Structure 1
Amino acid sequence: MDEDKVSELLDQLLSYIDPSYDKSEGYLIHDMLKSVAIVLLEQKGDLEGIKRLLDVDNLTGALLEAFVKQRKGITRTPATYSSGMLQVTGNGTVNVGDLFETPSGVQFAAAETKMITGSGTLQVKSVMSGPVGNVPADQITQMPVTLPGITAVTNPKPTDGGYAAETDDSLRERYYIAVRTPPTSANIYHYLQWAKEVSGVGGAKVFPVERGDNTVEVIIIDQEKQPAAPVLVDQVQKHIDPGSTGLGEGEAPIGAKCYVLSADPLILDISVSVTMAGGYTQDEVQENIRDSISVYLKSIAFQLNYVSFAHIGQAILDSVGVEDYAGLLVNGAIDNPQVGAKQVAVLGAVTLV
């Protein structure tokens, strides 16, 4: 109990009591009103808590989900499962649900039943949702349970399509878009809303009449602020206007042909000389620089039409293990790289010279 706040509230209550009464401590009026002050202070705290819950910026998790759903009908996009194709060798049958995994234990389940004679392909889906299921090529090589007749498996191409559930910040941003730039009658903000309703979309831009009358282009990036994978582009396309037909079979109205595309990558190759702090290897410092620059590039994706050369330098200087740097070049120059309207900046090679 905050005694100072109790005393302040008690003094306020006593000020309304006629001076003819003894309000000294130990007397009835003083002691009774002190009890009232304690109760009122507790209620004031409860009211302050309720007031904070009315501000969307103070909400997280389930409270944020309830707030935006009740007011705008917006729901958090769920995590998705990665998928891909396996090359299976042997003579036997693989059934739906049979498991395969990477050496690190990331598991995939067969999405179809298929008889394999010699070799064949098999559709699989990750057991766990989220980015953990996005694995490089030739990593799904093990079978936790022996499958009769099946001798070997691998994934010739990376698996993709696994995205985390929407973050609180992203959900709150979509709420503000709905409040400040109301989507209506298939305006620009409606297409923006439709694109961001798909799990995995981390940003979108809308280009009206880009291919002529009654056409719209929607350019998207993924949650990592990278060019969107074909599977994500396809999901957004199906959600808004399947096949770009304008038949009104998705969210877009009849007659409006929508074309969904991934942003093109603007690859940034970094060359820099650094003074390293003691106790760090060049590989560690190089990786820390990559991480630091990547954080900056994510923060400006679809926000700025250039990459700040100065901010790249600051990101390098802020990297763990870097004491100083010199000779920074971004794509061989010391200028701010310009980012096209349909591009997103992507970190390429980081070379320490």
Structure 2
Amino acid sequence: MADELDLEFQSVFEESEDAIKERVLARPELEKYRKEPGDFVYDVVVAGALDTQQQGTNMDATLRHAFPVYAEDIYLDMNVAGTNMEPRFEATIAQGKLQVTARAGVTIQQGQELITTAVDADGNPIIGIVTEEVIYTAEGTQDILVDTQGEGASMNVEAGSAWTFLPTLSGIISIDQAEDFEGGRDRESDESLLQRWKNAAQLPRRSGNKLDYDAWAQEVIGVGTVKPIPLWDGDGTVKLIIADIEGRPATAEMINAVQTYIDPYQDGMGDGKAPVGAIVTVESSVDKLIDAAAKVVLMPGATMQQVIDSFKVDFDTYLSGVADLALSSSETQYVIYKKVEALLGANELIADYSNFTLNGGTTNIAVQGNEIPVRGMVNFT
């Protein structure tokens, strides 16, 4: 469907400084006066032309911000505030668990800070804050709940990152991170917010069609892709597969929030957004790890790490496209072996390669409708 709301703004009030100057100097009232540069009339008109131009620019900006398709930042927020849409999603912290081994007698207080080697979007080390006090009555390992101090997607610290208490605590033996931190989200962009507004304005809504379920789920903060599966368990049943706005599996909190918003009791009584008779089940997408391995010959001057890093960027881009198709189509999608192999052939840092495999094989890998293909291990030798 063509996007009928992708319109280019046409200036209404703005004029160039020269056009304003020429128009004013040509007025009949000024015919009897000298109007050469340096004359009083000329100098007065030139001085006012710049202010008049600025006024036109300001009036155009006011007009542009009155319409969502042209508005930006806070002005787009103001337009959305007049609808039944959820407002712009703000940035959020990430949360996670650390496995801390300590000696008997150690107390890790609520509010204790940690620092990790992972960095945020600005290149600064990420700070974590302990959310619950933990006391070690005997030497051992306990899970420590941690919130990040900052907000944004960069706060989702990957498993295996190194952490240190700040300041250092006596009696700590080791700190491990077995799982990724989750929940960190960037502030919603103008592009994303505008797209939600366009969907609400353009797409047909008929009290319970697929588009309704898609829109209802995305009204919950943090939800990105939604895949409705009708009649998945008989008449009146609907399953929603959801992912967050970064395309990652939804957290338990997000799943519960969507379930509560759309069909809290799953009894068909219509207590949420879902119509009477519909029983809705909300589930998260799941990651499907795709490992890549090959023997490569490097170009002169290239390093193996450079090759791996550049391949990861290309591989992630390809997998993101497959993920979008898997979550939007009713058909099984595939990670195509030949297409991923072509990324190696196009890599300017690689002179030659052999023994390329995906998940240990040389065939296409099926991606089901609830799966998101993500990069696993990249083993180049």
TM-score of Structure 1 vs Structure 2, range by shorter chain:
0.7 to 0.9
Match of 2:369, as an amino acid? A
RMSD over aligned CA atoms reads 4.3
Q: Give the structure 2 partner of residue 70 of structure 1.
A: 82
Relative to structure 1, is the Cα distance of residues 65 and 34 closer, same or farther in structure 2, using a 3 angstrom cutoff?
A: same
Q: Give the structure 1 partner of residue 28 of structure 2.
A: 17
Deviation at residue 218 of structure 1 after TM alignment: 1.0
Taking structure 2 as the reference length, the TM-score comes to 0.69
Relative to structure 1, is the Cα distance of residues 80 and 211 closer, same or farther in structure 2, using a 3 angstrom cutoff?
A: farther
Q: Give the structure 2 partner of residue 297 of structure 1.
A: 319
Match of 2:232, as an amino acid? E
Q: For 2:367 and 2:321, how far apart are their aligned partners in 1?
A: 14
Q: For 2:50 and 2:42, how far apart are their aligned partners in 1?
A: 12
209-218 or 97-106, which deviates more: 97-106
What CA deviation, in whole Å up to 9, does each residue of 1:247-286 have, x standing for no partner? 6665545653221222244544446676755432112211
What CA deviation, in whole Å up to 9, does each residue of 1:42-72 have, x standing for no partner? 3222223233334545554434333323344
Q: Give the structure 1 partner of residue 131 of structure 2.
A: 111
2:171 equivalent to 1:160 = no
Deviation at residue 219 of structure 1 after TM alignment: 0.8
Match of 1:170, as an amino acid? S
* 2:97–2:177 Cα contact (<8 Å) kept: no
Relative to structure 1, is the Cα distance of residues 351 and 344 closer, same or farther in structure 2, using a 3 angstrom cutoff?
A: same
2:369 equivalent to 1:341 = yes
Deviation at residue 82 of structure 1 after TM alignment: 0.7
2:90 equivalent to 1:80 = no
Q: For 1:181 and 1:116, how far apart are their aligned partners in 2?
A: 57
Q: Give the structure 1 partner of residue 280 of structure 2.
A: 258
Match of 2:137, as an amino acid? T
Match of 1:322, as an amino acid? L
In the alignment, which of 245, 249, 252 is matched to residue 227 of structure 1?
Answer: 249
2:18 equivalent to 1:7 = yes
Relative to structure 1, is the Cα distance of residues 179 and 274 closer, same or farther in structure 2, using a 3 angstrom cutoff?
A: farther
Q: For 1:297 and 1:281, how far apart are their aligned partners in 2?
A: 24
Deviation at residue 17 of structure 1 after TM alignment: 3.2
Q: For 1:273 and 1:284, how far apart are their aligned partners in 2?
A: 15
* 2:241–2:285 Cα contact (<8 Å) kept: yes
Deviation at residue 158 of structure 1 after TM alignment: 1.5
Identity %: 21
Q: How does 1:274-313 map to 2 (within 5 A)?
A: 276-299=298-321, 301-303=323-325, 306=333, 312=340
2:349 equivalent to 1:322 = yes
* Structure 1 unaligned blocks of 5 or more: none
Q: How many residues are aligned here?
A: 345
In the alignment, which of 175, 188, 195 is matched to residue 197 of structure 2?
Answer: 175
* 2:116–2:161 Cα contact (<8 Å) kept: no
Q: For 1:12 and 1:340, how far apart are their aligned partners in 2?
A: 66
Deviation at residue 172 of structure 1 after TM alignment: 2.6
Q: For 1:47 and 1:191, how far apart are their aligned partners in 2?
A: 40
Q: For 2:252 and 2:317, how far apart are their aligned partners in 1?
A: 24
What CA deviation, in whole Å up to 9, does each residue of 1:139-178 have, x standing for no partner? 556473547xx65564563253232234303323222222
46-55 or 104-113, which deviates more: 104-113
Relative to structure 1, is the Cα distance of residues 61 and 247 closer, same or farther in structure 2, using a 3 angstrom cutoff?
A: same
Match of 2:35, as an amino acid? E
Match of 1:25, as an amino acid? K
Q: For 1:297 and 1:55, how far apart are their aligned partners in 2?
A: 36
Match of 2:167, as an amino acid? P
* 1:204–1:302 Cα contact (<8 Å) kept: no
Taking structure 1 as the reference length, the TM-score comes to 0.73
Report the 3-state secondary structure (helix = DSSP H, G, I; strand = E; otherwise coil) of the residue aligned with 2:232. coil
Relative to structure 1, is the Cα distance of residues 316 and 226 closer, same or farther in structure 2, using a 3 angstrom cutoff?
A: farther
